[in-house]
Amino acid sequence: MNGGETPTDRPCANKVRDRDVSAPRGASPPPDRREQPRPRFACRREHCRSDVTIILPIHNAAKWLDECLESVLEQDFEGSLQLSVFNDASQDDSMNIVEKWMKKFQERNIPVVIDGHKSPQPKGVGFAKNRAVAQSSGRYLCFLDADDVMMPQRVKLQYEAAMKHPNCIIGCQVRRDPGDSTERYTRWINSLTQEQLFTQ
C-alpha cells in the first residue's frame, strides 16, 4: 500500500532478492499529466477503478520477472487489483515477459496498464514509479520492485491495515533470498521505527 506499518502489525510480506532493494514505503507526487504519453492497454479511470494498484517499475529485470509476476497472481486478496507497469528503457527481454503474462492476468480479471520509454539511458526508479502511479486507478498503491517476490498475504494484510488506519502509510518487513545475504541491512530495515520510516 502507499505504505508504512501500523503500530502493532509488521507482517513479513515481501521476499526480497539479493540486491540492495527493499519494499518502498511511499512515493513521490506524480509528474504533470500533460507530459504523460498515452499508456498502452490503459482503461479510462472511471471504468477501471480498483481497490489496489500494484506499481511495478521495470529496468532490465528479465531474470526475475516470471517469479515476480507469479507472486502478484498468487495474492489471496479478494478485492479488485490492477497492475501498472512502466518500462524504464529496458534492453533485455523484460517486456516480452510482461506480454507473455498478460493472458494470465486477463483470465484473473486483473487489468494491466503498460507504458514506458526507449531512451538510450534509463531515467531512474523514481521516474518509473511516478509514471506508473500516474497511469494507475487504484484506491491504494502497493509498490513492488521487479526483483522482489510478494508473500501471498501481502496485499490483503496491508489493505486491511489501511482500512483500520486510513491516515497511515503501510509497509512491511522483508526477507532476503538467499537468507544469509546482506544480513546487516535486513536487520536494519526490519527494525525501523514508525518515525524512522519518514526520515530514512
Give me the CATH number covering residue 21. Answer: 3.90.550.10
Within a domain: 81: yes
For residue 192, the model assigns a pLDDT of 76
Residue 67, in any domain of the structure:
yes
Domain for residue 52, yes or no? yes
pLDDT (0 to 100) of residue 52: 97
C-alpha angle with apex 96: 92 to 97, nearest 5 degrees? 95
**pLDDT for residue 149:** 96
- Bond from prior residue into 24 cis (ω within 30 degrees of 0): no
Measured CA to CA, the distance from residue 87 to residue 101 in angstroms comes to: 15
Q: Is residue 1 part of a domain?
A: no
* Residue 22, pLDDT score: 35
**DSSP reduced 3-state for 188:** helix
d(CA 53, CA 94): 20
Burial of 131 (0-12, 13-18, 19+ CB in 10 A): buried
DSSP code string of 28-91: PPPPPGGGPPPPBT---GGG--EEEEEEEEESS-HHHHHHHHHHHHT----S-EEEEEEEES--
Flag residues of the chain having pLDDT under 50: 3-48
Residue 73 within any structural domain of the chain: yes
**What pLDDT is attached to residue 142?**
96
Q: How many residues does the chain have?
A: 200
Q: Is residue 141 part of a domain?
A: yes
From CA 195, how far away is CA 193, in angstroms rounded? 5
Closest Cα to residue 132, out of 57, 36, 49? 57
In a domain, 162, yes or no: yes
User: What is the tally of structural domains in the chain?
Assistant: 1
Convert the pLDDT of each residue in 167-192 to its tens digit: 888 888 777 676 666 677 677 767 87
**pLDDT of 66:** 98
In a domain, 34, yes or no: no
Q: What's the confidence (pLDDT) of residue 8?
A: 36
Q: Which residues constitute the domain of residue 53?
A: 12-27+41-197
